Amino acid sequence: MGLLSVEVPFPLVVLLLCITASLVAGLMLTTERAAALGSHPGPAEGAVRARRSRPAPHPPPTPHGKHPAGGTLVDGQYTHRKVSTLSIQPIRIFGDPVLRTAAEEVDTYDKELRGLVKDLLDTMRDEGGAGLAAPQLGVSKRVFAFDVDDVIGHIVNPVLEFPDEEEQDGPEGCLSLPGLYFDTIRRQNVVAKGFNEYGDPLQIVGTGLMARCLQHETDHLDGIIFIDRLDSDRRKAALAEIQSQDWYNEDVKVKVTPHDSKGVFFKR
C-alpha cells in the first residue's frame, strides 16, 4: 500500500505560521510582565505608607451619683463619700472647755448647717474615726457624724431610746483623747431619732458598734466624755493614762463633767 499524500496550499501554510508566531509572542509578553510584577513589593510587603499609631480611646466618664458628693443612700445615710481636704478642721483635745459644754439645739436648717455637716464628715474620715460631734470642732451645736461598717451619715438634734437593758462592755476611744482606749459599758441596742441636714425626720436603729457610737457622740452633745461613764477604778486608771500623754495640757485641771452623766450607763 502506498503513502497518502496531501497537498496543502501555500497560502494556508503562511497563515498557520503567522498564527503560531503570534501565540508565541503573546506568551512571552505575559511571562515578562509577570516577572516585572514579581520584582516589586506588593501592599503586604510594605509598598503602602505605614499606618500611624493612634492612642486607645478613653473610656466614657463614670456617671456621678444623684446624691451629694457621689454617695450611695442607705437608710437615709450616704456611703463611700468623697473627702474634701478643704473641709478638714482641727479637733479639740481633752481639756478644752467646749467639750464640757452642753450643746445648743439646731433650729435653722440652712447652708451653714450643711457646711458644718460636711466639716464633720470630712474631718472624721480624714482622722479615721467612727464618729465626730460638733463640739469636737469647737461648735456647740447638737450635730454629729458617724462612719460605722461602711455606713456614713449624720444626725441633728438626736434623742436616744433604749428598747431593752442588754449591755456591752468593750474598748472605746475618742478623737479628743487620741490613741487611748478604755473598756466602757454601753447599751447593746439603741434607737436614735432626729433630723438630717435638711430638716427631714431621721431614725437610726443601732446595735453593737453602731449603738456604742450613737451613745458616745450623743454624750459629746451633753458635755460628757466617755471616761465619765467608767466606774471609779477604771476612771482613775484612765485619768492617770491621760496625764501621761504628750498632748495633755498640765494647766488643765482634770475633773468629771459638771453635767449630769446619769450615773452608770444602764440606769440612763
Report the catalytic residues. 217
The helix (run of H) or strand (run of E) holding residue 28 is helix 10-38
From CA 169, how far away is CA 145, in angstroms rounded? 23
Q: Can you tell me the distance from the alpha carbon of 182 to that of 172, in angstroms, rounded to the nearest whole number?
A: 5
CB contact burial 156-188 (16+ within 10 A = b; e otherwise): bbbebebeeeeebeeebbbbbbeebebebbbbb
Can you list the alpha helix ranges (DSSP code H) found in 70-177?
111-127
- Helix segments in 99-231, DSSP class H: 111-127, 209-221
